[in-house]
């Protein structure tokens, strides 16, 4: 009998403890800007602060309908948390969520559907009342580490510029024979380092540093100046065809210079009002890493 009582007591304690833990994990809280949020994991590590950069996976739902996911469009995203005096008037739920998460945490945060959101969601979903975000915090960079990476990126800009201008000159002069390779599409390229990670292929989530130049070597855009790699998913049309094809010639960690004919770049029109004139061939130096 005593043995049975002990078993019942132990079972009751376990149930109460489980209920307590479950309650701690699933009880919603209200964030600073009025969003309902549930932390499913409650990790105890450090949390990102203003000025720091978080790496997150986010899936967005209205009702049961998936509206978008970083896993399907290039992989985890960097989110830089602005200081309070630089917060937008309409604070995104993601900012409120990230500052309450530790690396490894998974949360659900809800945003009421107001007239602005309702105007852009499909008609069949307009009766829904909330947008649901499923967020996972992969990691985050301290402001000091982020500033260091920015400085390193900008420091490399000059050497990449010199290399690209030199190759552009040689290309125009026709003196790259023996160095250039060419694909069936007309893309020409030089692989500086093939990379030793997994092969970039259709569907691979990629982050790329790039230096984009016109055919005379003059810069029109670069990620090195911003200190942030560009995320995209290879092979699904998010990039111009020549860039997309060139990235898929490499493994993760690879580096190459691409000589892209205008038909594989911005075509007959270029970028009206932008930096690319009509029928302009382009040169891209790229460094790719797979997520």
Positions annotated as catalytic residues are 210, 220-221, 240, 266, 284
Long-range Cβ contacts of 173-179 (<8 Å, 24+ apart): none
Q: Ramachandran region of residue 146, left (φ > 0), alpha (ψ -120 to 50) or beta?
A: alpha
What gap in Å lies between CA 249 and CA 183, rounded to an integer?
A: 10
Contacts 24+ apart (CB under 8 A), 179-186: 180/259, 183/245, 183/249, 185/241, 185/242, 185/245, 185/264, 186/261, 186/263, 186/264
- Judge contact between 101 and 57, C-beta under 8 A: no
Q: What is the DSSP letter of 249?
A: T
């Amino acid at each position: 009998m005593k043995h049975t009582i002990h078993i019942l007591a132990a079972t009751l304690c376990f149930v109460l403890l489980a209920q307590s833990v479950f309650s701690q994990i699933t009880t919603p809280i209200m964030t600073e800007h009025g969003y309902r949020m549930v932390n499913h994991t409650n990790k105890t590590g450090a949390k990102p602060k203003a000025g720091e950069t978080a790496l997150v996976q986010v899936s967005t739902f209205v009702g049961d309908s998936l509206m978008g996911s970083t896993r399907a469009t290039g992989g985890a995203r960097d989110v830089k948390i602005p200081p309070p005096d630089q917060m937008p008037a309409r604070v995104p739920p993601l900012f409120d969520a990230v500052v309450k998460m530790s690396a490894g945490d998974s949360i659900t945060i809800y945003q009421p559907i107001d007239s602005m959101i309702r105007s852009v969601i499909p008609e069949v979903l307009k009766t829904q009342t909330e947008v649901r975000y499923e967020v996972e915090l992969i990691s985050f960079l301290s402001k000091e580490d982020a500033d260091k990476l920015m400085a390193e990126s900008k420091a490399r800009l000059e050497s990449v510029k010199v290399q690209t201008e030199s190759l552009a000159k040689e290309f125009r002069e026709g003196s790259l024979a023996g160095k250039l390779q060419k694909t069936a599409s007309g893309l020409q390229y030089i692989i500086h380092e093939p990379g030793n990670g997994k092969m970039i292929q259709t569907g691979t989530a990629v982050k790329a540093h790039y230096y984009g130049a016109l055919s005379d070597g003059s810069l029109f855009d670069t990620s090195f100046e911003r200190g942030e790699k560009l995320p995209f998913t290879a092979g699904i049309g998010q990039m111009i065809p020549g860039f997309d094809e060139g990235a898929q010639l490499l493994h993760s960690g690879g580096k190459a210079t691409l000589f892209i004919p205008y038909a594989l770049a911005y075509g007959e029109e270029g970028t009206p009002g932008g930096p690319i004139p009509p029928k302009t061939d382009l040169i891209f130096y790229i460094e790719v890493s797979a997520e």
